[in-house]
Amino acid sequence: MERTEIRKLYEDPSRYTVSEQTVCGWVRTIRLSKTFGFIELNDGSCLQNLQIVFDDQLPNFMEVSKLNVGSSLVVKGNLVLTPQAKQPFEIKATSVTVEGTSTPEYPLQKKRHSFEFLRTIAHLRPRTNTFSAVFRVRSLLAYAIHKFFQENGFVYVHTPIITSSDCEGAGEMFRVTTLDLDNLPRNNDGAVDFSEDFFGKSTYLTVSGQLSVETYCMAFSKVYTFGPTFRAENSNTVRHAAEFWMVEPEIAFADLKDDMELAEAMLKYVINYVMENAPKEMEFFNNFIDNGLIERLTLVKDSQFEHVTYTDAIKILEKADQDFQYPVYWGCDLQTEHERYLTEKYFKKPVFVTDYPKDIKAFYMRLNDDGKTVAAMDLLVPGVGEIIGGSQREERYDYLERRIKELGMKMEDYWWYLELRKYGTVKHAGFGLGFERALMYITGMQNIRDVIPFPRTVNHAEF
Amino acid sequence: MERTEIRKLYEDPSRYTVSEQTVCGWVRTIRLSKTFGFIELNDGSCLQNLQIVFDDQLPNFMEVSKLNVGSSLVVKGNLVLTPQAKQPFEIKATSVTVEGTSTPEYPLQKKRHSFEFLRTIAHLRPRTNTFSAVFRVRSLLAYAIHKFFQENGFVYVHTPIITSSDCEGAGEMFRVTTLDLDNLPRNNDGAVDFSEDFFGKSTYLTVSGQLSVETYCMAFSKVYTFGPTFRAENSNTVRHAAEFWMVEPEIAFADLKDDMELAEAMLKYVINYVMENAPKEMEFFNNFIDNGLIERLTLVKDSQFEHVTYTDAIKILEKADQDFQYPVYWGCDLQTEHERYLTEKYFKKPVFVTDYPKDIKAFYMRLNDDGKTVAAMDLLVPGVGEIIGGSQREERYDYLERRIKELGMKMEDYWWYLELRKYGTVKHAGFGLGFERALMYITGMQNIRDVIPFPRTVNHAEF
The average confidence (pLDDT) of chain A is 95
Verify that B94 and B129 share a domain, yes or no: no
Contact A47, A129 (CB under 8 A): yes
B110 found inside a domain: no
DSSP A296-343: HHHHHHHSPPEEEEHHHHHHHHHH-SS--SS---TTPPPPHHHHHIII
A222: domain CATH number is 3.30.930.10
Q: Do B218 and A242 touch (CB under 8 A)?
A: no
Q: Do A135 and B216 touch (CB under 8 A)?
A: yes
| The last residue of a domain, from among A81, A98, A115 | A98
Asked if residue A169 has pLDDT above 70, the reply is no
Q: Which chain B positions have a beta carbon within 8 Å of A201's beta carbon?
A: 461
B433 found inside a domain: yes
pLDDT at B169: 52
Average pLDDT over residues A302-324: 96
Taking residue B59's Cβ as centre, other Cβ atoms within 10 Å add up to 10
Residue A167: band (very low, low, confident or very high) from pLDDT cuts 50, 70, 90 = low
Q: How far is CA A211 from CA A27, A138, A164, A327, A413, in A?
A: 49, 26, 12, 33, 12
Can you tell me the distance from the alpha carbon of A434 to that of A209, in angstroms, rounded to the nearest whole number? 12
Distance from CA of B283 to the nearest CA of A (A): 19
A460 found inside a domain: no
pLDDT at B230: 96
Q: What is the ipTM of this complex?
A: 0.97
Average pLDDT over residues B291-319: 95
Taking residue B424's Cβ as centre, other Cβ atoms within 10 Å add up to 27
Q: Which chain A positions have a beta carbon within 8 Å of B203's beta carbon?
A: 461
Distance from CA of B210 to the nearest CA of A (A): 12
Q: Exposed/middle/buried for A167, CB within 10 Å: 0-12, 13-18, 19+?
A: buried
Tens-place pLDDT, residues A373-407: 999 999 999 888 899 999 999 999 999 999 999 99
pLDDT at A165: 76
> What share of chain B in percent tops pLDDT 90?
93
Residue A1: band (very low, low, confident or very high) from pLDDT cuts 50, 70, 90 = confident
Asked if residue A171 has pLDDT above 70, the reply is no
pLDDT at A170: 52
> At how many degrees (to 10) do helices A256-277 and A129-151 cross?
140
B186 found inside a domain: no
| The last residue of a domain, from among B80, B98, B116 | B98
A195 found inside a domain: no
Asked if residue A436 has pLDDT above 90, the reply is yes
Tens-place pLDDT, residues B231-276: 999 888 999 999 999 999 999 999 999 999 999 999 999 999 999 9
A163-172, A437-446, B133-142: the lowest-pLDDT one: A163-172
Contact B360, B407 (CB under 8 A): no
A422 found inside a domain: yes
Residue A81: band (very low, low, confident or very high) from pLDDT cuts 50, 70, 90 = very high
Verify that B89 and B135 share a domain, yes or no: no
Taking residue B434's Cβ as centre, other Cβ atoms within 10 Å add up to 21
Q: Exposed/middle/buried for A386, CB within 10 Å: 0-12, 13-18, 19+?
A: middle
Q: Do B220 and A126 touch (CB under 8 A)?
A: yes
Contact A122, B218 (CB under 8 A): no
Residue B383: band (very low, low, confident or very high) from pLDDT cuts 50, 70, 90 = confident
State the Cα torsion A143-A144-A147-A153 to the nearest 10°: -130
- Candidate from A103, A156, A216 with C-beta closest to B142: A156
Verify that A422 and A298 share a domain, yes or no: yes
Contact A357, A329 (CB under 8 A): no
> Could you tell me which residue, A360 or A382, shows the higher pLDDT?
A360
Task: For residue A88, give its domain range.
Answer: 4-98
Average pLDDT over residues A411-428: 96
- Computed over its alpha carbons, how large is the radius of gyration of chain A? 27
Tens-place pLDDT, residues A142-155: 999 999 999 999 99
Q: Do B199 and A458 touch (CB under 8 A)?
A: yes
Instruction: Report the SS3 class of residue B136.
Output: helix
Average pLDDT over residues A189-201: 95
Verify that A283 and A360 share a domain, yes or no: yes
Contacts of B406 (CB under 8 A, 6+ apart): none
Q: Which chain B positions have a beta carbon within 8 Å of A165's beta carbon?
A: 463
Verify that A233 and A337 share a domain, yes or no: yes
Alpha helices in A71-190 (DSSP H): 115-120, 129-151
- Computed over its alpha carbons, how large is the radius of gyration of chain B? 27
| The last residue of a domain, from among A98, A116, A146 | A98
Distance from CA of A179 to the nearest CA of B (A): 8
Q: How far is CA A268 from CA A272, A434, A435, B410, in A?
A: 6, 16, 15, 49
DSSP single-letter state for residue A188: T
Contact A241, A452 (CB under 8 A): yes
Can you tell me the distance from the alpha carbon of B367 to that of B393, in angstroms, rounded to the nearest whole number? 9
B194 found inside a domain: no
Contact B398, B391 (CB under 8 A): no
Tens-place pLDDT, residues A91-124: 999 999 999 999 999 999 877 899 999 999 999 9
> What share of chain A in percent tops pLDDT 90?
93
User: What are the residues facing B431 on neighbouring strands?
Assistant: B390
Tens-place pLDDT, residues B190-223: 999 999 999 999 999 999 999 999 999 999 999 9
Asked if residue A335 has pLDDT above 60, the reply is yes
DSSP A167-184: TTS-----EEE-S-TTS-
Verify that B85 and B135 share a domain, yes or no: no
pTM for this structure? 0.97
Verify that B80 and B212 share a domain, yes or no: no
Asked if residue A38 has pLDDT above 60, the reply is yes
Verify that B271 and B359 share a domain, yes or no: yes
Tens-place pLDDT, residues A440-463: 999 999 999 999 999 999 999 999
Verify that A336 and A408 share a domain, yes or no: yes
Q: In B177-186, which positions are buried (b, 16+ CB within 10 angstroms) versus exposed (e)?
A: bbbebeebee
- Candidate from A102, A142, A163 with C-beta closest to B156: A142
pLDDT at A316: 98
The tally of domains found in chain A comes to 2
B24: domain CATH number is 2.40.50.140
Contact B177, A174 (CB under 8 A): yes
Can you tell me the distance from the alpha carbon of A18 to that of B336, in angstroms, rounded to the nearest whole number? 50
A12 found inside a domain: yes
Average pLDDT over residues B115-134: 98
Verify that B290 and B436 share a domain, yes or no: yes
Residue of B nearest to A423 (CA): B102
Q: Do B157 and A24 touch (CB under 8 A)?
A: no
Q: Exposed/middle/buried for B94, CB within 10 Å: 0-12, 13-18, 19+?
A: middle
Contact B268, B152 (CB under 8 A): no
Backbone angles phi, psi at A172, to 5 degrees: -85, 125
Taking residue B341's Cβ as centre, other Cβ atoms within 10 Å add up to 22
Q: Do A165 and B127 touch (CB under 8 A)?
A: no
State the Cα torsion A308-A312-A317-A318 to the nearest 10°: 180
Q: Which chain A positions have a beta carbon within 8 Å of B131's beta carbon?
A: 219
pLDDT at B170: 52
Q: Which chain B positions have a beta carbon within 8 Å of A176's beta carbon?
A: 174-176, 205
Can you tell me the distance from the alpha carbon of B391 to that of B362, in angstroms, rounded to the nearest whole number? 9
Verify that A279 and A351 share a domain, yes or no: yes
Verify that A9 and A132 share a domain, yes or no: no
